Amino acid sequence: MMAQIVYFKEWLIVFYKKHVDVVLPVLKLVFAFFTMCMFQGMFPYNMVINKPGIFLVLSAAQAFLPISVLYYMISILIMINLWKVSMDIFLGFVIFSIICSLAFVRVDRKHAVILIVTAVMFYLKLEYLLPVLLGMIVGFGAILPAAAGVVVYFLSVYMTDVSTLLTTSSSSNFGMGLQRIVNLMLIDKKLLVFLITFSLIIFITTLLCHLFYERAWLFAIFIGHIAMILLLLFGRLIFELDYKIWRLFLEMILGIGCCYIYRFFRGIGDVSRIEKASFEDDEYFYYVKAVPKIKVTQKDRNVTDIKSGENEDDILFDDITEETDLFDGNREEAEKE
Amino acid sequence: MIDPKKVRLMTKLAVYEEGPGKKDLKINCYSKRTYVNIKQLESIIAITVAYLLGLGLYCFGIYTDIISQGLKFPYQKYILHAMILYLIIIIIDFVCTRRYYTKVYDKMREDIKQYDYNLYRLARYIQKEEKDRA
């Protein structure tokens, strides 16, 4: 069973390496389309832009652009929807976007994706899967984007209340909507509990993952999830909040599974790809295509099940040589050349 | 006649230069201290602007209290809290930025060392070729 999973992982790596030029844009297109539809669902105030065709065209463009551009596209999408409701809320969101850009997008643009994923997971009611996974995958850098994602989701929740208020009130002054939203954010204990829990769990998980111990990640998964449950239950008790306990435990189990799956497939997206380079010397122009070597396929392997005290992983991988990467570390070997 | 060893070496150099080397070679112009200090200064300015914008949004939330209470509003208490929070944020930012950009610079130095070594190898190889031809 374990061997079959290993072969599947290796097949996936080989497939990704061979077809990375097609697979990556398709994945980006699907992700962009899905997230834009989700955000339009969270902020459905402008029906002019609520057309799948527009999202499809933008997603097709996004397929060939860096993933951080998706953050700007979604920010503009939200702004267009908020403009329809109220100018002051639109300006408030613009200021919030600027704060996010200055706080974490400036440092690493890829972290902007965490904000998008957090808000979408909240919308899909799968938020409890996130904190430990973010701590394992990203580290401390996920704290601010995750917090911003939580704020964006809660903004979408408050907007339903505020848009009704602005529609029904006979005299709405400039700033009434934004003031209402800021007041709701300041008094909402659920938002506070989620912000503190997510930040602490990402922090704890990252610390645990970086311990000098081989199985530190295992501790991080279990301790992270248990700590999350305890914090959320404590918050529920103190502030009398209304999130469902059965969903918490169900998502904790799903979260542990997702962390295991991530751990097993870790590094698939990180493989060296086909590199194209051009250079010249005195005699020739060189147009080079460097194709990374394939590690192992099912046909090359003879797997023997050995039931002993030894670690099965060590037996499976003991004759796989390390893939030569583009940076050779051994000076002595090079000097012999 | 194409020499595969030379081509392999030049490919490694070209791939690095067109990939991570673009950013690394810019960072390598600075010493570690200068680079970290520049990034620290950028970070402090960015965080200060973000904090002031956030504070502005918060003041908008308590705007009606300020208007209704006028001079009786406890400005001193709010200003003191705002300054303490700002100091805490700046200290956390200082520590995190310093650590992060030190790591970035150290990683860059490792890659540049390898790149420099490959350049040296290529230079030695070309010298050896010219000697053999002569």
DSSP secondary structure, A195-214, as one string: HHHHHHHHHHHHHHHTSSST
d(CA A227, CA A203): 11
| B63/A175 touch (CB, cutoff 8 Å), yes or no | yes
- The string of pLDDT tens digits covering residues A86-133 is 888 999 999 999 999 999 988 888 889 999 999 999 999 999 999 999
Domain assignment present for B10: no
In chain A, where the domains are located? 1-166+175-265
- The string of pLDDT tens digits covering residues B123-134 is 988 888 888 887
What are the two backbone dihedrals, phi and then psi, of residue B77, each rounded to the nearest 5 degrees?
-60, -45
Instruction: Pick out chain A residues at pLDDT < 50.
Output: 310, 312-337
Domain assignment present for B90: yes
Range of the domain at B45: 31-131
Q: Which residues of B touch A96 (CB under 8 A)?
A: 57
Nearest-CA neighbor of A128 among A258, A248, A253, A262? A248
| B15/A328 touch (CB, cutoff 8 Å), yes or no | no
3-state secondary structure A218-256: HHHHHHHHHHHHHHHHHHHHHHCCCCCHHHHHHHHHHHH
Minimum distance, in Å, between the CA of residue A151 and any CA atom of chain B: 13
Indicate if the alpha-carbon torsion angle A145, A150, A154, A159 is positive or negative. Answer: positive
**pLDDT at A293 (0 to 100):** 65
- Contact status of B53 with chain A (Cβ, < 8 Å): yes
- Contact status of B11 with chain A (Cβ, < 8 Å): yes
Q: Count of CB atoms within 10 A of residue B44's CB?
A: 14
Specify the DSSP class assigned to residue B2: -
**How large is the greatest C-alpha to C-alpha distance in chain A, in angstroms?**
85
| A275/B15 touch (CB, cutoff 8 Å), yes or no | yes
Task: Enter the tokens of residue B11.
Answer: 């490919």
Assign residue A265 a region: left if phi > 0, alpha if psi is -120 to 50, beta otherwise?
Answer: alpha
| Structure-token match 């600027």, residue found | A98
What angle (nearest 5°) sits at the alpha carbon of residue A69, between those of residues A104 and A107? Answer: 20
For residue B54, give every residue at least 6 positions away whose Cβ sits within 8 Å of its Cβ, in sequence order, or none. A99
Instruction: Pick out chain B residues at pLDDT < 50.
Output: none
**Could you give the count of Cα atoms lying within 13 Å of A194 in the half-sphere of its Cβ?**
25
**pLDDT at A171 (0 to 100):** 63
Q: Which residues of A touch B57 (CB under 8 A)?
A: 92, 95-96, 178, 182
Axis-axis angle for helices A130-137, A143-168 (nearest 10) = 140
The chain A residues in contact with chain B (CB within 8 A) are 92, 95-96, 98-99, 102-103, 106-107, 140, 175, 178-179, 182-183, 185-186, 275, 277-279, 281, 284, 286, 288, 290, 326-329, 331, 334, 337
Task: Enter the tokens of residue B17.
Answer: 């230069």
CB-CB contact of B39 with B97 (8 Å):
yes
ipTM, two decimals: 0.83
Domain assignment present for B55: yes
- 3-class state of residue B101 by DSSP: helix
CB-CB contact of A183 with B61 (8 Å):
yes
**pLDDT at A186 (0 to 100):** 87
The total of structural domains in chain B comes to: 1
Domain assignment present for B8: no
| B50/A186 touch (CB, cutoff 8 Å), yes or no | no
For residue B62, the surrounding DSSP H or E stretch is none
Minimum distance, in Å, between the CA of residue B96 and any CA atom of chain A: 9
d(CA A146, CA A131): 8
Minimum distance, in Å, between the CA of residue B91 and any CA atom of chain A: 14
Nearest-CA neighbor of B25 among B100, B111, B120, B121? B111
Minimum distance, in Å, between the CA of residue B43 and any CA atom of chain A: 8
d(CA B58, CA A57): 38
What are the two backbone dihedrals, phi and then psi, of residue A286, each rounded to the nearest 5 degrees?
-115, 130
d(CA A146, CA A38): 17
Residue of B nearest to A175 (CA): B60
d(CA B50, CA B87): 14
**pLDDT at A267 (0 to 100):** 61
**pLDDT at A324 (0 to 100):** 42
Specify the DSSP class assigned to residue A322: P
Q: What are the strands, taking DSSP E only, across chain A?
A: 275-280, 285-290
d(CA A129, CA B107): 32
Domain assignment present for B116: yes
Specify the DSSP class assigned to residue A170: S
Minimum distance, in Å, between the CA of residue A175 and any CA atom of chain B: 8
Q: What is the CA radius of gyration of chain A?
A: 24
Rounded to the nearest angstrom, the gap between the alpha carbon of residue B105 and the centroid of all alpha carbons in its chain is 8
For residue A181, give every residue at least 6 positions away whose Cβ sits within 8 Å of its Cβ, in sequence order, or none. A89, A92, A155, A158, A159, A162
